[in-house]
Structure 1
């Protein structure tokens, strides 16, 4: 599997508790043209509507049974 060359990366598996505020902070800091890679232990389906509403595109890849990569960019 090719590794995404992201400008920003957040591994939500390392966060103790709810990672939503950490994710939104990364989205707020993402400049146009940059890529944000979210790594999670499950597919974060509820996040997709939030991303769309905030003007982001995403591409999700399952890389292991308990590892999902979500590549996020400005729409």
Structure 2
């Protein structure tokens, strides 16, 4: 699932080295330098990829890879 998430964020990253070293602790904003507008695009792409809907509370939690995976897994299991 990390590799799927990695391909989703690729178009929006500003730091190639951080992207190449992406792991569960990678922060979307501080490490990958994804700006807040592009973070919304990432969220929309995640919704499309996994056929889920993310509420504002879920989106607010998705600041790093680990949190994003937890939210995605929770939403998938609720379907």
Place the TM-score, normalised by the shorter chain, in its bin.
Answer: 0.3 to 0.5
TM-score after normalising by structure 2: 0.32
User: Which structure has more helix as a fraction of its residues?
Assistant: 2
Q: Which has the larger strand fraction?
A: 1
